[in-house]
Amino acid sequence: MPYTIPEALHAEIDELEGLIERFRVGDLDPVTMKAKRVPFGVYEQRTPGTYMTRIRCTGGTVTPAQFARVAELAAEYGSPFVHLTTRQDIQIHDVDLTRVPSLSRELAAIGLSSRGGGGNTVRNILASEDAGQNLSELFDVGPWVDALTDRVIREGDSWNLPRKFKISFAANDADSALAGFNDLGFFPRLGPAGEHGFKLYVAGGLGGKPRAAILFEEFVPAAEVHLVVTAIKKFFDRNGNRKNKRAARLRFLRDKFGDEGLLEKLREAISQERAAGWEPLVPKVRDLGTVTAPATPVASQAGFEAWKARHVAPAKREGFFNVRVPVLLGDLPSDKATALGRKLESFGLDVLRLGIRQNLSIVGVAQARLPELHAILSEVGLAQDPGLVGSLVACTGADTCKLGMCLPKGAVRELAERLPKSGLDLPALEGVRIHVSGCPNTCAQHMVADLGYYGIARRQGDHSYPAYRVVAGGIVGEGKARLAREITQVSAWRMPDFTVSALSAFQQDAAGRSFVEWLDAEGEKRLVAIAEGLAEVPLWEESQAPYIDWSATEPFSPAKGGAECSAGLFDLIDVDRKVIAGLREDLVLDSDHLPYLYDLLLAVSRVLLITRGLEPVGDRAVFEGFAEQFLKTSLVPSRFASLVLRGKELGPSGLAGRTAEILELADLVEALYQGMDDSLRFPELAAVTA
């Protein structure tokens, strides 16, 4: 087992069950309920009343029997599939909140928990998926990851930090665990006497305002890993920003103290923790289980050699191999996941791993059993993919996530249909990392992609449409970590076209270069030119296709997720704010130009309606919505009611001589915007008084 269940978990489940019952009968408010369930890894989905449970799988390690049982529980409690995440967790979707305690007990019975799957907690600790079986590793980091997890999940201060706290261990300097982009990132090193230790990077992260981590120590003895983690966790707990979640991660303390200042303070914190007394970390020996090969070897099937060439690589132990298993979008039907887990039980306990790209790895497989494994994967539909397609990464987006803006899974499914028909050499593109997030949050790791996307909202006339900002050029590896940079933007409607064209341009120009090398030479200009050629979005009256996202059945609306969709809504609000700024400049030159005044009043009235869940079509509807949501609620002084009414009823002609009043209203609305919190809520309804 990668970790053991804390003794306190059962009482915590009982407490959660009591809170859920109080919430069900109306004796507990939603905000308090959210504060209690989210650290348990329980998130409300976009569909009201449905919840997701995220299960901690330390270092991506899960036994075949655990994997099979989780899949059975998914079918029993939620959706007919399990979802593999980019943080090596397993998610069960569509769970009724009242059944969460029962599900939690079922998980605990097999040695798994969702505790710390969300919220301001120490999240699932990552490790390279081939740890222990990597050809070039100095030693197996897995036992150290397991031992550290066992300790931190028993510590009370792991569950109420200023913000999430992420730790990662790479097997080697290639960094397949993104240790260079976590709060704490460990790279294996050997000391003078061959003792295990780690090169440590700190204060990285891929969320809002992402940053690569900075080097902290060249060598931390492995026995001191828990000491270091504890000291930095306590320092973060004391100094992290609890007032502003957008500036609450460890990396933002670099702004407060400076890089060198932060490193010095962390060293002081470690010295203080050391002086207070500490217990060395002892690696936890993994039980490999019993391997029971079939009495009669399985003969090779058709397609075996092609599969072996593409997905099988030598493991650390001679005569053994690691097998990559692509899972499109990380979604694996529960019945197939159950069958896979049961069939892998004879391969041992420590054979199945979850990767950070929503995939699976089966590690340490004897050469003689590769045909058998190929047959097993063929039975569950996981033996073949046309190249690149199975490596595409996408978060769930607005399918289920309340923060989601776009539907990246729909876009990727469309892309997966087009790529095999594109004429591209897909196997040759296998190493190109394409990641798609539904909003600026980096759940799909778009900021480390070769070619990445994150969802935004755009407006054409009275109608919004889904779009993506395009980033590219991420580099992964110890000492060379680099974030992707923003290149251009493209409508969701044209995103598959853009991707195929971008890959075609790269393949035409590559001449043996990597995607990043091509990008840094002529590639960026090529991508910008491709986007410009796809930039036109027809008006709603001409075609509704751009206004309906991939896999959606109705027109796009960024307001449908409620105020929690803050990331994308901020972007849409900025469209109107730029319009307002431009009109104000025009009025400097012609202060009484009635069409400018009318357009300014209209934009000012519309800019924040999206925060109230409104996307009005037509000018009258905009003014009516503003009156209802802002004038009648006292967010805006009632003395502006006559101005808005004149705009609604009389149009530009009714605004003569009202320039100063319109500009004052624009200032008040901008002040409202600046005063909103990260979820686009106003501090209080009566914040602005007459």
Q: Is 8 helix (H, G, I), strand (E, B) or coil?
A: coil
Tokens of 35: 């504060």
Q: What is the structure's pLDDT at 683?
A: 62
pLDDT, position 668? 95
CB-based contacts of 496: which residues, under 8 Å, 6+ apart?
Answer: 411, 414, 415, 418, 550
Number of H helices and E strands in the chain, helices first, is: 20, 19
Which letter does DSSP use for residue 42 in this model? E
Quick: pLDDT tens for 58-90: 999 999 999 999 999 999 998 899 999 999 999
Positive/negative CA dihedral, 5, 10, 15, 16: positive
540 half-sphere exposure, CB direction, 13 A CA radius: 14
Report the CATH fold assignment for 390-547. Sulfite Reductase Hemoprotein; domain 1 (3.30.413)
Report in angstroms the alpha-carbon separations of 190 from 187, 201, 386: 10, 16, 40
Residue 401 CB-half CA count within 13 A: 27
Task: Name the CA radius of gyration of the chain, rounded.
Answer: 27
CA distance 88 to 67: 13
> Which tokens sit at 677?
């919190």
Domain 304-386 has CATH 3.40.630.30: no
Position 392 scores a pLDDT of: 94
Sequence-ordered alpha helix ranges (H) in 293-369? 304-311, 334-344
Backbone dihedral region for residue 185 (phi beyond 0: left; psi -120 to 50: alpha; all else: beta): beta
Asked whether the beta carbons of 629 and 669 are under 8 A apart, the reply is no
Find tokens 């804390």 and name the residue.
6
Which portions of the chain are predicted below pLDDT 70?
1, 559-572, 677-681, 683-690
Give the H/E segment covering residue 193: none
Instruction: Give me 177's structure tokens.
Output: 């665990």
Which phi and psi (to 5°) does residue 686 adopt? -100, 35
Name 313's bridge partners: 322
The reported pLDDT for the residue numbered 660 is 93
433 contacts 450 by C-beta, under 8 angstroms: yes
Residue by residue, DSSP assigns 481-542 as: -B--EEEEEEEGGGHHHHHHHHHHHHHHH-TT--HHHHIIIIIHHHHHHHHHHT-----TTT
Architecture of domain 123-286 in CATH? 2-Layer Sandwich (3.30)
Instruction: Note the pLDDT of residue 682.
Output: 72
CA–CA separation, 322 vs 429, rounded Å? 21
